[in-house]
Structure 1
Amino acid sequence: MSFALVTGAAKGIGKGIAKELARLDFDLLLVDMDEVELAVTKKELESTSGSLVYTLPLDLSSPGALQTIMSWTSIWHDELQVVVNNAGYGLNGSFEQLELEEQLNMIDVNIKAQVSLSHAYIPVLKKQGQAFLLNVGSTTCYQTVPYLNVYAASKAFVVSFTRGLRFELRNTPVSVSVLIPGSTDTDFVNRARMSAEVKKTAERFNMSPGLVGKIAVRGLFKGKAEIIPGFSNKLHAFFPRFFPKSFVEKIGGNIYKPKAPNAKLIKTAPVSLAIK
């Protein structure tokens, strides 16, 4: 049986992807910093599938995280066929007011961990007759998003990096794809400390993590370059290019600008919203 490695797998989109891979009879190597939820996910997947599920509680931003994961997975490298770099999070607020350390940690998880794991596992995946690497971005990658600034910029990096990597590996057994989800019913908005108004708006567009996981895995095995789940997310990815950047930035800024208590909500047109 083949193995799949999934980071950020305790809940949300990562869990949705893990469930779909288990349904396709992959054994699973799951990594997440939330040890409690990771144990819950392991138990759930083992009870609903015939897959073996191994877990590693780990913060990908911690020193030596890459070495820890590589050492842990080493006994399964001959059978590792899929690597999913899903772990990531956002922070809502002005760049100036958010703690610099928090924002640098976000870059460590959203960018450095993806790059490090991709670099480490490509030689492992190349040993297979066919293998797959999936990095997870966000529809925010297609536009500047004030007050979600560093997160959106990190996801723009992910998409550019993944597409470049896909081209470089086009003549190898490794197929590289990027998942670009929009608003999904996960804990992302709480982790990002978004306002109640933003949460309410996001709920209008939410997809379920399970559905996103199914679409992600289906697109990955079809060899798609960019996998954008949901019609509304495809529109959000497509339309910003036809409007002045200043207009798109103003809409995003109005949505994500932290509101003072009892502040009057500014009505804006819907655009791409938070994911994961």
Structure 2
Amino acid sequence: MSEKTKPYALITGASKGIGKSIAYELAEKGYPLLLVARSEEELKALSDELQVKYGIISDILSIDLSINNASLKVIDWIKMNNYSVGILVNNAGYGVWGNFSQSALGDQLGMMQVNMNVVVELSHLLVPILLHEKQAYILNISSTAAYQAVPTLAVYSATKAFVLSFTRALRFELSQTSISVTCFSPGPVDTGFAARAGLSALNKMAEKFNMQPDEVAKMAVNAMFNKKSEVIPGFTNIISVYANRLLPKAFIEKTAAGIYKI
């Protein structure tokens, strides 16, 4: 497949972290990119670099996905420019740390909008477009937090459990079409997630267990192209997820509460 015939890959949360590294991975493979995030300056710098380094087409849209109807604006942008999209990477997301009852409701709802609603909205709006491709992909980025309740990250872990469940069901529904759907659930990654969430305790712990965005992105893209259903990167993360299934939930929640305590 030549570069000109390759469809665009739409990546949300593309300005930093895993999303940025996925952009590099796909650009290296010759895919034209549609990069979406809040920071126009960071997006433009990344887009310019990828175009020079890999010779691909890269366009950007600076938008706050936590705002209602943001997904509709993304789709309007795609249709207005007649982009042929063959890959959707739902990567945008963040966490809010703290006791639920003491956290601002607006912060929690904004997180739910980005972590869940945008994933559903973009998937629903883009499926008809993806179906035009001989082979298309949806890659949803979840988290190992999807596999357990996490006190002080109560809503965040619930949003990631939603993404995991939604992805598996959507994969089954689309199994007889040209669209392959993959859920990728990393553990701690050196992306600045803990700093944004206000989780200083995790910053210290993560230094020992962090995976790097580049290695995680490579695994995620490979999982997508290999049409995997559900992937957890890293041996330690796999063991922890399986332990969550075997050990009593009360024990797991108490342990998590100790790790993420305020």
TM normalised by structure 1 equals 0.90
String of CA shifts for 1:244-271, please: whole Å, max 9, x gaps: 101100111011111xxxxxxxxxxxxx
Cα distance in 2 between the residues matched to 1:78 and 1:201? 42
1:45 matched to which residue of 2? 50
| C-alpha contact (below 8 Å) 2:11/2:91 kept by paired residues | yes
Question: What's the CA shift for 1:241?
Answer: 0.9
The one-letter code of the counterpart of 2:76 is S
String of CA shifts for 1:120-142, please: whole Å, max 9, x gaps: 00110011111001111000000
Mapping of 1:88-127 within 5 angstroms? 88-127=93-132
2:183 to 178, 184, 187: 178
2:213 to 209, 219, 234: 209
Question: What's the CA shift for 1:44?
Answer: 2.4
After superposition, the Cα gap between the structure-2 partners of 1:76 and 1:173, relative to the gap in structure 1 and judged at 3 Å, is: farther
1:161 to 157, 166, 172: 166
After superposition, the Cα gap between the structure-2 partners of 1:26 and 1:146, relative to the gap in structure 1 and judged at 3 Å, is: same
Cα distance in 1 between the residues matched to 2:140 and 2:81? 21
Question: What's the CA shift for 1:64?
Answer: 2.6
Cα distance in 2 between the residues matched to 1:235 and 1:36? 39
Cα distance in 2 between the residues matched to 1:242 and 1:67? 42
Cα distance in 2 between the residues matched to 1:47 and 1:254? 47
- Give the CA RMSD over aligned residues: 1.2
The one-letter code of the counterpart of 2:248 is P
1:235 to 227, 233, 239: 239
Unaligned runs of 5+ in 2: none
Equivalent position SS for 1:4: strand
Cα distance in 1 between the residues matched to 2:78 and 2:114? 19
After superposition, the Cα gap between the structure-2 partners of 1:76 and 1:162, relative to the gap in structure 1 and judged at 3 Å, is: farther
| C-alpha contact (below 8 Å) 2:84/2:129 kept by paired residues | no
1:189 aligns with 2:194: yes
Q: Which structure is higher in helix share?
A: 2
| C-alpha contact (below 8 Å) 1:140/1:156 kept by paired residues | yes
Moved over 6 A (4+): none
Equivalent position SS for 1:29: strand
Count of residues in Structure 1 that have an aligned counterpart in Structure 2: 257
Unaligned runs of 5+ in 1: 259-276
Cα distance in 2 between the residues matched to 1:34 and 1:254? 35
Cα distance in 1 between the residues matched to 2:63 and 2:90? 14
Cα distance in 1 between the residues matched to 2:69 and 2:121? 11
1:32 matched to which residue of 2? 37
1:12 to 6, 17, 22: 17
1:262 matched to which residue of 2? none
Equivalent position SS for 1:182: coil
Q: Which of the pair has the greater relative contact order for Cα pairs under 8 Å at 6+ separation?
A: 1
The one-letter code of the counterpart of 1:69 is V
2:259 to 247, 255, 262: 255
Percent identity for Structure 1 against Structure 2: 46
Question: What's the CA shift for 1:40?
Answer: 2.2
1:128 matched to which residue of 2? 133
1:58 matched to which residue of 2? 63
Question: What's the CA shift for 1:46?
Answer: 2.0
TM normalised by structure 2 equals 0.95
